């Protein structure tokens, strides 16, 4: 029987609900941990590092969007970009978005043999 893929943590799914493409990217990253051939790094740690990397890139992209919005002078675009940049910062935070990864850890503990 094929094992399910690791879940994107519920807190991140909730925080990024308005950015389904971001959730999809995180899911693909987690899937790659399960599907990898070389398993030198423990899978949970590999998954956390991938989440951190992707969330950092989302935060950087949001910062670029904010810079562009500020350059445009459009107040609505600036406000939206500020909100997105703050959300991505919170999602990347070890105290907020990445604070509780017990669901992910439980997945890898349950599927240790095939992860």
Residue with tokens 């051939």: 37
Q: Which positions ≥6 away from 40 have C-beta within 8 Å? A: none
Distances (CA, A) of 67 to 6, 21, 33: 35, 22, 33
Is the residue at 115 inside a domain?
Answer: no
pLDDT band with cut points at 50, 70 and 90 for residue 1? very low
Task: Give residue 113's pLDDT band: very low, low, confident or very high (50, 70, 90).
Answer: low
Structural domain of residue 89, as residue ranges? 10-110
Residue 83 covered by a domain: yes
Q: How far is CA 12 from the centre of its chain?
A: 7
Per the domain annotation, does 97 fall within a domain? yes
End-to-end CA distance of the chain: 14
Report the number of distinct structural domains present in the chain. 1
18 falls within a domain: yes
In a domain, 19, yes or no: yes
Q: What is the pLDDT of residues 79-111, one digit of tens each?
A: 999 999 999 999 999 999 999 999 999 999 998
Question: How do residues 46-81 score in pLDDT, each as one tens digit?
Answer: 999 999 999 999 999 999 999 999 999 999 999 999
Question: In this structure, is residue 40 part of a structural domain?
Answer: yes
In a domain, residue 3? The reply is no
Distances (CA, A) of 7 to 60, 77, 109: 24, 32, 13
Map tokens 């439980």 to a residue.
106
């Amino acid at each position: 029987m094929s094992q399910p893929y690791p879940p994107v943590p519920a807190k991140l799914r909730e925080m990024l609900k308005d950015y389904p493409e971001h959730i999809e990217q995180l899911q693909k990253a987690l899937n790659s941990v399960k599907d990898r051939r070389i398993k030198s790094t423990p899978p949970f740690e590999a998954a956390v590092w991938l989440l951190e990397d992707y969330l950092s890139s989302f935060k950087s992209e949001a910062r670029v969007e904010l810079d562009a919005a500020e350059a445009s002078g459009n107040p609505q675009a600036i406000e939206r970009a500020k909100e997105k940049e703050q959300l991505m910062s919170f999602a990347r935070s070890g105290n907020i978005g990445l604070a509780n990864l017990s669901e992910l850890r439980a997945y890898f503990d349950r599927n240790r043999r095939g992860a």
